[in-house]
């Protein structure tokens, strides 16, 4: 699988897919949509431009179908503390989910992080996303017990529909 660096020209297409994968509704939604817990957009072009500018060591990677250039998904990788790399924004286009593309993208991202020197991958997930946490656990990730408050009041992450959201962390050696 070839993961290419996301360029400025790709950003609007990437943001549309991230928002659809995370917050899609009705027939457009994938199995792991957050729309029951959080509404609004997951990210914006401006936020991603800022993240890319602020974090020059991060790798923002996209997967396109080599036969027709269709965007299949994307993933963010970033060096974190003590040999860990943070993996975030993993997404696959909802109309192609459940065909093992997600695990292939995850494995390719893990492989890329390992090649960059990662010893383990670190992920944060909203605590109530049991099915997604189970998906990562089936891929070898283990809950670390760490928790981080959900940024209530910061609409960049969308509008939470519950008051008990927080982030939990999972890790896996690579
Ligand atoms: C998470 C995501 C990348 C997975 O992509 P995918 O292409 O569907 O993944 P795969 O086809 O490899 O795996 C599908 C899995 O979903 C499970 N699944 C399918 N429908 C499900 C449902 N309704 N409930 C729970 N699990 C379900 C399948 O059992 C399968 O897991 P298994 O093989 O371990 O049993 C994708 O759902 C996505 O983009 N989600 C939105 C963004 C997101 O939340 N990203 C994670 C951020 S931390």
Is 43 close to ligand 1, i.e. is its CB under 6 Å away? no
CATH number of the domain encompassing residue 30: 3.40.630.30
Q: Considering only CA atoms, which of 165, 155, 164, 162 is closest in space to residue 41?
A: 155
Is 84 close to ligand 1, i.e. is its CB under 6 Å away? no
Burial class (CB in 10 A: 0-12, 13-18, 19+), 44: middle
Note whether 49 and 84 are within 8 A (CB).
Answer: no
**Count of domains in the chain?**
1
Q: What is the mean pLDDT of residues 32-57?
A: 95
Residue percentage of the chain with pLDDT more than 90: 94
Q: Is residue 89 situated within a structural domain? A: yes
Rounded distance from Cα 132 to ligand 1 centre (Å): 7
Q: Is residue 43 situated within a structural domain? A: yes
Better-predicted residue by pLDDT, 85 or 1: 85
pLDDT tens figures, 99-134: 999 999 999 999 999 999 999 999 999 999 999 999
Q: Is residue 10 situated within a structural domain? A: yes
Q: Is residue 107 situated within a structural domain? A: yes
Q: In the predicted model, what is the mean pLDDT of the chain?
A: 96
* Domain extent at residue 44: 3-122
Q: Is residue 66 situated within a structural domain? A: yes
Rounded distance from Cα 53 to ligand 1 centre (Å): 30
């Amino acid at each position: 699988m070839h993961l290419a660096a996301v360029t400025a020209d790709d950003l609007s297409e990437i943001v549309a897919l991230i928002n659809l994968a995370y917050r899609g509704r009705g027939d457009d939604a994938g199995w792991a949509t957050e729309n029951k817990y959080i509404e609004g957009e997951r990210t914006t072009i401006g936020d991603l431009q800022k993240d890319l500018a602020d974090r020059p060591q991060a790798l923002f990677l996209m997967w396109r179908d080599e036969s027709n250039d269709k965007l299949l998904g994307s993933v963010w990788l970033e060096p974190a503390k003590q040999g860990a790399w943070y993996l975030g924004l993993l997404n696959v286009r909802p109309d192609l989910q459940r065909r093992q593309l997600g695990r292939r993208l995850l494995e390719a991202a893990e492989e890329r992080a390992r090649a960059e020197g990662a010893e383990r991958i670190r992920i944060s997930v909203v605590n109530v996303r049991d099915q997604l946490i189970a998906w990562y656990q089936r891929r070898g990730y283990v809950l670390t017990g760490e928790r981080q408050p959900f940024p209530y009041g910061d609409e960049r992450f969308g509008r939470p529909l519950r008051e008990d959201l927080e982030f939990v962390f999972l890790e896996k050696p690579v």
